[in-house]
Amino acid sequence: MAKMRLYKFWNENGDEKEKEALSLKKAVMSVQGDYKDKVIGVEYVSKKGKQISTSVNIPLGRKIRQALVIEQKRLAAKAAKEARDKSRYASN
């Protein structure tokens, strides 16, 4: 039977959160909106009883990741267009 585990998350600023979930992925997906960092630390006790402390890259999950990629492309295209327009008007 699956067992709920307690996951402790923190960032470089020292903000800490605890989340109880069945898996690390589910716990990360539920708290990633609370952090603006790219990497957060996590600590938990594994199924075999080991104390594990590691870092996790966020955002995690297809919908969030794809939305982030699309937004970055849009901002890059906007910056390129503004640079083109600026150089066009500066030469006249």
Whether the Cβ atoms of residue 55 and residue 42 lie closer than 8 Å to each other:
yes
The pLDDT of residue 18: 95
Question: How much is the mean pLDDT over the chain?
Answer: 87
Helices within the chain (DSSP H only): 24-31, 62-91
Q: Which residue in 40, 1, 49 sits closest to 19, CA to CA?
A: 40
Tens digits of residue pLDDT in 32-64: 888 888 899 999 999 899 999 999 998 877 666
Q: Is the pLDDT of residue 11 over 70?
A: yes
Q: Is the pLDDT of residue 65 over 70?
A: no
Q: Is 87's pLDDT higher than 70?
A: yes
Q: Using a pLDDT cut of 70, give the percent of the chain over it.
A: 91
